A and B are shown apart, each in its own frame.
Chain A
Amino acid sequence: MKIEIDIDDKYPDTEVVIHANKLDSDVEKLVAMLRMVNMQISVRQRDETYLLDIEKILYIESVDRKTFVYTSDETYESDLKLYEIEQELFEHNFIRISKQSIVNIRKIKSLKSDINRKIRITMNNGEQIVVSRMYSDELRRKLGLK
């Protein structure tokens, strides 16, 4: 893939143009990652593609190599891998809580300590997720407790 960056005062806005001979999964991934810069993520639900505001996401989970995005009342699928989303969303209050999931800290309603230094999270919609022991210290650090 050829990457060309042209920085010049003549451009009033940042514009990204993709030239490709077909719309394949690489191009779709590229578009999805660019969307995240605009605080949006492209997701699919019943063969339709949506642009979802990052703010609306509760958590993102990887199940059987598929990535699912959860809002308070909907579940979507993303073409991006969990680690790709994690890299982009780390600056936007998202944090890895287990090997399978990352969570939007701003959508956490309450936190409770669980056995083995794990943390039980209750999301704004009442759903409960467990932060694995491996990642609970990282969450504590992010919240300023360590």
Chain B
Amino acid sequence: MSDSLDEDLCVAALDEASRLGCGYAEVRLHFNTYTGYSLRSGVTEPTVLVDSRGVGIRVICGGSLGFGATNVLSRQSVVEAVNMAVKMAKASGDGGEKYVLSAEEAVSDNWRVNQAKSLYELPSETVVSLLRDVDSASSREVKGFSFPVRLLRIDCSTEQKLYMNSEGSKISSVVPRVSFHSVFVGLRDGERVTVSVPPGYSGLGGSGGFELIEKLRLEEYVASRLTEIATTLSSTTAPPRGERVDVILGPNVASLTSHESVGHPFEADRVLGREAAQAGESYLKPGEYNIRLGGAEAYVSDDPTIPNSMGFYLYDDEGVKARRRRLLQAGYVSELLHNRATATKFAGRSNASARAVRYGVEPLIRMANTYIEPGDWSFEELLKDTRRGVYIKSFMEWNIDDKRLNQRYVGLEAFLIENGELKASVNRPILEISTPKYWSSIDARAKDMEFYSGMCGKGDPMQGAPVYFGSPHIRLRDVVLG
């Protein structure tokens, strides 16, 4: 990107917005590049490239919000986009929500995530060769299961932004991201199953260069996880149903619960009803804070500043400096995720949660890296301390209602626990539980932490935002499985 040209475009847009009488304007030059490599059952699929380059402009005119965007990066086109944004804001007229931003400091900064092995210069052969090795290691028969369908994918992307606003902020950034995903169809005696590694269609990776993928030792990881999964798929033992048992959740399952039933409902735009038509609302209501959602062991945070995380950023797309947000503290609602507009409604400051994933969409309140905070138990101690229960290590199917009160996770790898020891694997235990009951049932958290990567969906048009979800092993006391 040519810095002087880009800055000139941004300045032209801000000048035009000022000329048109806007009280506030911001410009985001937003460039995304993506390269996807995949292997389907040993066959190389076409490489997929996606480049997206354009400018998104938000204005507040007469108190109403307008947005315009174009991928024609000429002065004329950008000025036209500003005019369109202003026209759209004014068209809202008296029927428009009055949009007021919290007061925040103007910032000037330039930051990037470093990469040892640049994704942009990565030879295709390197990635495809790695996928071939993973494929070879995972194509053997395990416990009677063959895996004739093996879909392996590595996604490499770079997000580059120049953000400027009419208050004097100017921030440029570069974030490379890389992740691995895989799906398998297993066959045994006419039985067909679909599984992913990692389970739950989550991914592994983060922000950085290809060194993040190399560190994962995917060849060994995928083969060993597939072996573990195949072993438990053989189980025909039913889980204890309809009785109260203790349940230890593995990080794979527990991490998603933090995202789904704390992260999303703590997005202030949902709480205020702004996402009601699409992504839904929240069990939290405006004004209902410092309420108790869970027990003394319920701690959840969201932190964009975790180095090399998938949701890493230092400033959000409203130019606010990022920091950790503790959402749930000892079971109490501690802090919501805010942008500058919702912060105003809550009489506070933004905590830098506004993100847009490409130039043509507005910034929305998004999670970054949401996780259950670690405790002080080891997994072995948790197990030893559990007399009768089920260990649900991983899952495949899940969903939650749009107020985030009613969640379900169907176990993939699961085992009975008897007198502190793991026993037989059990077939598909279902944890279908209300959110308050879930967070009130946690009585212990281990020290171990795992993070998984994913794309979080929200908005209309849909914006898939890169995130992490993380957790240690946790234990739920006295819950009922289906």
A binds B: no
User: Could you tell me which A residues sit within 8 Å of B by CB distance?
Assistant: none
